[in-house]
Amino acid sequence: MDDLIIRRDRRAGRITFNRPQALNALSHDMALAIHAALNDWRNDPEVDLVIIDAVGERAFCAGGDIAAVYHAGRAGNHAEGARFFFDEYRMNAAIADYPKPILAFMQGFVMGGGVGVGGHASHRIVGDTTQIAMPESGIGLIPDVGGSWLLAQAPGRVGEYLALTSARIGAGDALYAGFADYYLPEAEWPALIDHLADSGEISTVVGQAPPLAPLADLDLSAFEGADMAEIVARLEERGDTEMLKPIRRNSPLSMAAGLRLVREARGDARMQESLAREYRFTSRATRDSDFLEGVRAQIIDKDRNPHWAADASPAAVDAILAPLGADELHFDV
């Protein structure tokens, strides 16, 4: 597959995103190929660790390639989206539970589906160009690919803030929020990757002092609100126009559902529980949410003017997050 370079390199299994012209967006076939490679190397005695990196300076992976899901949904084929998210989430879980070290070198944009790959690796390396975000509420989706799990682990109300505002964070904030483990200048990455592949040893992975983490100094007390209405009211009361701006721009249903997902994930023992809950929304997204309109506005027509129409009431959130019965996400072979 041209979009991924998958190979054995001495003691390492190597997966390299190779779609720089598309900011290394993750397609359905790519998700399946990553999962297959991990399965191939799981019991291979010649592979001590896995390295995931990307071609190009602009992005590790800027998100999922959802154009096919959009066009299928517009044509009334809602099964296409469900299949894509089902396979993608199983791959995310395989990364999180992998028995060998997985090292992700995440430069540039790391968003959505890119977080689902790099954000669950055992060793997550970021650099000066790294920009991480979960921007799904801007396209009518929710923080998925295990994003609700990662956001739930963030300190204080950082998880709610990032989910609702789609804010981008750099290397220092990524370490503070728990989306990364090591900061290293990107000029040092090639030598480290070469050493890892040659030795199969991870003991020499040592980060440097990260840049500042401005996120730690933000007043996020408004995000303690019980629901979206209370959060917005608190932000309005203190006149916080910067935080209100993206919230007023994003899908109301996506934010209400995303808020619930992040908070419920705090009670999960494993990421798979969070993924299964996310899948209840995303498997229904092309039929019952603002997703098609959000993708149209942001990715297809690029007019950046979505017309949100989905019901965002508590009853609507209950419905789109309701159990799927026999269609629930599972992780069996």
Token pair of 291 as six digits? 């997703």
| Nearest by Cα to 129 from 208, 200, 211 | 211
Predicted pLDDT at 168: 98
Predicted pLDDT at 1: 76
Structural domains of the chain ordered from first start: 4-327 (3.90.226.10)
Predicted pLDDT at 147: 98
| Nearest by Cα to 63 from 97, 96, 33, 108 | 108
Predicted pLDDT at 215: 96
Predicted pLDDT at 204: 86
Q: Considering the entire predicted model, what is its pTM?
A: 0.96
CA pair distance 85, 318, nearest whole angstrom: 20
Predicted pLDDT at 317: 98
Q: From the CB of residue 30, how many other CB atoms can be counted at a distance below 10 Å?
A: 26
pLDDT along the chain (333 residues), means of 10: 95 98 97 98 98 98 94 96 98 98 98 98 98 97 98 98 98 98 98 98 93 95 98 98 97 98 97 98 97 96 96 98 97 83
* Coil, strand or helix at 280: helix
